[in-house]
Amino acid sequence: MKLNKLLIFLGFILLNITSGCTANPVAVGIDCSKNVTSDLSMPDLVLVGTDVVDIESFNKSKEQLSKSYSAETGGAALELSLVLTSEYLTIIRSFNEPGQAVNTKTYIICNPEEGLSSDELYIRVVNNGVLMLETEPGVDGIPDDLWILYDKQN
């Protein structure tokens, strides 16, 4: 009985010690003055639904970016929401696989004239859509070695 009381007492002490620890939010700054370069060898293949197509099949486009794009890969729905300002492009990618929690990832990248990319994300604007490559998608259903075609939504 005394052992149980001692364990409960020690539990309360540990609870009080650990509850006093707080995490400070970290603000991440974006430095648009530097160019993003990567040693990453860009893949030549694009996932279109369940098919894999050569990237040469897609022509680069000078189209304005849309506010939303979508794709479907093997039953999972992917959506992109874009917010463009004069300096930044915010991209919110949602991955929704039936029966699973929705996986969402947000990217904030600089808006240079020569291309849209960051350390983890590469985008190419093509006719009626975008090709997007996530090098660290954080979800098993999105390959890190294939571009994905997202179709423009109206």
69 in Cβ contact with 141 (< 8 Å) = no
Model pTM score: 0.74
The two structure tokens encoding residue 10:
């020690």
Q: Is residue 97 part of a domain?
A: yes
The Cα–Cα gap between 132 and 142 comes to 11
Per DSSP, the three-state class of 16 is helix
Q: Is residue 53 part of a domain?
A: yes
The Cα–Cα gap between 8 and 29 comes to 45
* Residue 69 in this model has a pLDDT that exceeds 80: yes
Q: Is residue 33 part of a domain?
A: no
* Residue 112 in this model has a pLDDT that exceeds 70: no
The more confidently predicted of residues 115 and 20 is 115
Q: Is residue 22 part of a domain?
A: no
Q: Is residue 11 part of a domain?
A: no
User: Averaged over 134-140, what is the pLDDT?
Assistant: 91
- Domain encompassing residue 100: 45-152
The two structure tokens encoding residue 87:
């300096």
Q: Is residue 12 part of a domain?
A: no
User: Averaged over 79-96, what is the pLDDT?
Assistant: 91
The Cα–Cα gap between 144 and 140 comes to 9
Q: Is residue 123 part of a domain?
A: yes
pLDDT of the residue at 24:
35
pLDDT, tens digit, for every residue of 71-87? Answer: 999 889 999 999 988 88
Domain count, the chain: 1
Mean pLDDT score across all residues of the chain: 79
The Cα–Cα gap between 117 and 107 comes to 10
User: What CATH number is given to the structural domain containing 144?
Assistant: 2.40.128
